[in-house]
Amino acid sequence: MKQVFSKHYWGDKDISLLVGQILRIGVIFASSILILGGIFYLIVHGQDTVPNYRDFVGEGNSNTTITGIITGAFNRNIPQVIQLGVLLLICTPIVRVIGSLFGFVIEKDRLYIIITLIVLTVIIGSILSGIKG
């Protein structure tokens, strides 16, 4: 009987297919949310007057924090739905790195496990250093 998590069962091709599927599904899902959010934004705000761009007005926490974006998206606020699509698009490569890490763990390839952990650490460190407090 074959073991599901043995190196014999999970080859390089299988991991490449898994990582490709993760990227494909993530991009399609995020793009769908972005397109729907854009369509709804145009339906609601398409006839609005052009805003005054002389004075810069920054965005509030609802568009710049993860909790604000998720809360606003679930409350069907259109700008936060669009921001959720962008957030998912940013998360897609991170999930891809995590998926490849699992693949390398299954293959027991220590060199690639270490390299992938370094990449993941750099990505997470970059994200955490840019989060608003």
pTM: 0.75
91 near 29, Cβ under 8 Å? no
Say whether pLDDT at 132 is over 70. Answer: no
Q: Domain of 24?
A: 12-46+61-131
In a domain, 51, yes or no: no
Q: For the CA atoms of the chain, what is the radius of gyration?
A: 20
Question: Which of 18-22, 24-28, 80-84 comes out lowest in average pLDDT?
Answer: 18-22
Structure tokens at 121: 């650490």
Number of domains making up the chain:
1
User: Dihedral of CA 76/78/81/83: which sign?
Assistant: negative
In a domain, 95, yes or no: yes
In a domain, 121, yes or no: yes
Say whether pLDDT at 77 is over 70. Answer: yes
In a domain, 32, yes or no: yes
In a domain, 3, yes or no: no
User: Dihedral of CA 48/54/59/60: which sign?
Assistant: negative
Cβ neighbours of residue 14 closer than 8 Å, sequence gap 6 or more: 103
Structure tokens at 87: 């957030």
Which whole-number Å values give the CA distances from 50 to 21, 54, 81, in the listed order? 41, 12, 22
The model's pLDDT over 24-46, given as tens digits with 9 standing for 90+, comes to 999 999 999 999 999 999 999 88
The confidence band for 3, taking pLDDT boundaries of 50, 70 and 90, is low
